[in-house]
Amino acid sequence: MVDAAPAAPDSAWEYAPAPESREIATIAPENGLFIDGEFAPAADGKQFTTVNPATEEPLARVAEAGRRDVDRAVAAARKAYEQTWGRMPGRDRAKYLYRIARAIQERAREFAVLESIDNGKPIKESRDVDVPLAAAHFFYHAGWADKLEHAGFGARPRPIGVAGQIIPWNFPLLMAAWKIAPALATGNTCVLKPAETTPLTALLLAEVIQQAGLPPGTVNVLTGDGRAGQALVGHRGVDKIAFTGSTEVGKEIQRAVAGTGTRLTLELGGKAANVVFDDAPLEGAIEGIVNGIFFNQGHVCCAGSRLLVQESIADALLDKLKRRLGTLRLGDPLDKNTDIGAINSREQLDKIEELAAAGEQEGAERWSPPCPLPAAGYWFAPTVFSGVSQSHRIAREEIFGPVLSVLTFRTPEEAVAKANNTPYGLSAGVWTDKGSRILWMTQRLRAGVIWANTYNRFDPASPFGGYRESGFGREGGRHGLAAYIDG
């Protein structure tokens, strides 16, 4: 493994600041739960504060849902399912979904700014990835709503009923869209529980849904912590649970619904291998590696967190990679030049720091480009570990941060064996010039999604999901509809 000295970027250009205007998003000081078409405080009046992770400044007080609120939301969703939404013809449901999609597009800047403030992700990512993809999911599923009888689920596909949907903080709006759009297209109603640290765009989406005129109760949003999620999972009025988050909580949910008849889909963690062969187009591979692990600060379940590089090109590749990392800009998420934003929470930062320290203790070599970190907020410099062996924790555990572990291989068989040496099975990447090798690899890699000569590409028409400890069920595409159809 190489021991290249940190390479300075070719040119040390300093960019002028290009901040997006924060004023585009109005944040109410107090935010209620969205139940039965109305915003209201929690039954017991409890609230929590959501903070800007880039500055630690409090952004707003948000209602904290308790059991009574979960009861009310599930009852509202049941009523809407039985009396309005569940009976509505697909062509009418489609109109509402199109309306939501268009409203997201119209308010795209507002959504992007709010997402970056509440989550810490760079504005160029929320603006160019999260928000357009969220709108695309509603457009795509609007297209399915009146064509379900042609989707291969029989002549009269039936919805499941009330869906409880629990989402994480890494893509707050996009995960809400991934959950809500297919559920509504197929005639189900929803109770969504966003993550505690990122409630604001889910509430803005609720506002859009209210303005789109969906029947009250069709979508309900319960802000709160894991206890609200737990109450939703345990609620007997819920017919289906869709969860995205950690494998640990996923397993807990699976145990909780076992034997109850509640349908379940789980999208959990990952430890993806991004495999680069010696015949790969190197410049493209470097961009794919950077995008694979440093996109969204590495808070991505399918992140290419294990780089497997063929030994013969390891030195050259690592050299180029370090040079490229020297050009990444870390800082204000609202600056349009920023590549790496803030870590979403103090807890997540602690976890990343702990695992990175374990990497050093276990003997891997740690490297980061020169990268001053802002004084306030939660930050972690892009980090590369070389000399990583398969037994190291940083090669086995999901770090969920901007940390890349580099391992080498000599033969394709060794690459497959190392790539599959994980309990997860969500995603993988293959970089090679040979189409035949791509096919050979994809037949052997145990992952739900495999990218070839690219990484982290998403499309609503393309099913996404894993197996083994990465969960089960698919989101997106025709396969994603199956998760919301009875039978």
Collapse the DSSP code of 242 into the 3-class scheme (helix H, G, I; strand E, B; otherwise coil) and give the result: strand
Which residue type is seen at 154?
G
Contacting residue, 301, 307, 428, 430, with ligand NDP by CB under 6 A: 301
- Residue 341 touching ligand NDP (CB under 6 A): no
Among positions 224-243, residues that touch ligand NDP (CB under 6 A) are: 225-226, 229-230, 233
Q: Which stretch binds ligand NDP (CB under 6 A): 27-35, 188-196, 372-380, 435-443?
A: 188-196
Alpha-carbon span 167 to 227, nearest angstrom: 13
CB of 324 to ligand NDP, least distance (A): 25
Residue closest to 244 by CA, chosen among 210, 198, 184 = 198
Residues near 332 by Cβ (< 8 Å), separated by ≥ 6? 17, 19, 54, 338, 374
Given the residues 64, 125, 190, 301, select the one marked as catalytic: 301
Number of residues that bind ligand NDP (CB under 6 A): 26
Q: Which stretch binds ligand NDP (CB under 6 A): 149-157, 164-172, 205-213, 435-443?
A: 164-172
Which residue, 167 or 212, is less far from ligand NDP as judged by CB?
Answer: 167
Given the residues 64, 125, 267, 398, select the one marked as catalytic: 267
> Kind of pairing, strands 263-267 and 471-472?
antiparallel
Q: Which stretch binds ligand NDP (CB under 6 A): 199-207, 222-230, 328-336, 452-460?
A: 222-230
Which residue, 244 or 265, is less far from ligand NDP as judged by CB?
Answer: 244
Count of CB atoms situated within 10 Å of the CB of 331: 21
CB of 230 to ligand NDP, least distance (A): 4
Residue closest to 363 by CA, chosen among 346, 385, 382 = 385
Count of CB atoms situated within 10 Å of the CB of 392: 20
Q: Which stretch binds ligand NDP (CB under 6 A): 75-83, 160-168, 214-222, 438-446?
A: 160-168
Distance (Å) of CA 225 to CA 56, 263, 420, 450: 19, 22, 34, 33
248 as an active site residue: the answer is: no
Alpha-carbon span 191 to 34, nearest angstrom: 9
Which residue type is seen at 27?
I
CB of 167 to ligand NDP, least distance (A): 6
- Residue 405 touching ligand NDP (CB under 6 A): no
From first CA to last CA, the distance across the chain in angstroms is: 52
CA angle 139, 145, 151 (to 5 degrees): 110
Residues near 45 by Cβ (< 8 Å), separated by ≥ 6? none
Which residue, 96 or 400, is less far from ligand NDP as judged by CB?
Answer: 400
CB of 218 to ligand NDP, least distance (A): 21
CB of 185 to ligand NDP, least distance (A): 22
Q: Tokens 């013969």 sit at which residue?
A: 312
Contacting residue, 264, 268, 317, 445, with ligand NDP by CB under 6 A: 268
Distance (Å) of CA 440 to CA 194, 435, 446: 40, 9, 12
Angle between helices 247-257 and 226-234 (to 10 degrees): 30
Beta bridge partners of 159: 485
CB of 374 to ligand NDP, least distance (A): 22
Residue closest to 357 by CA, chosen among 380, 376, 333, 335 = 380
Beta bridge partners of 263: 240
Collapse the DSSP code of 110 into the 3-class scheme (helix H, G, I; strand E, B; otherwise coil) and give the result: helix
- Residue 195 touching ligand NDP (CB under 6 A): yes
Beta bridge partners of 50: 60
Which residue, 196 or 339, is less far from ligand NDP as judged by CB?
Answer: 196
Among positions 71-100, residues that touch ligand NDP (CB under 6 A) are: none
Contacting residue, 157, 168, 182, 333, with ligand NDP by CB under 6 A: 168
CB of 172 to ligand NDP, least distance (A): 10
Contacting residue, 107, 127, 193, 240, with ligand NDP by CB under 6 A: 193
Q: Which stretch binds ligand NDP (CB under 6 A): 52-60, 140-148, 189-197, 205-213?
A: 189-197
267 as an active site residue: the answer is: yes
Alpha-carbon span 228 to 151, nearest angstrom: 34
Which residue, 193 or 320, is less far from ligand NDP as judged by CB?
Answer: 193
Contacting residue, 262, 274, 348, 383, with ligand NDP by CB under 6 A: 348
CB of 205 to ligand NDP, least distance (A): 15
CB of 435 to ligand NDP, least distance (A): 31
- CA dihedral of 392, 396, 400, 404, whole degrees rounded to 10: 50
Pair of tokens at residue 105: 């597009």
Which residue, 301 or 340, is less far from ligand NDP as judged by CB?
Answer: 301
Q: Which stretch binds ligand NDP (CB under 6 A): 25-33, 156-164, 191-199, 448-456?
A: 191-199
Binding footprint of ligand NDP on the chain (CB under 6 A): 166-170, 193, 195-196, 225-226, 229-230, 233, 244-246, 249, 252-253, 268-269, 301, 348, 351, 398, 400
Residues acting as catalytic residues = 267, 301
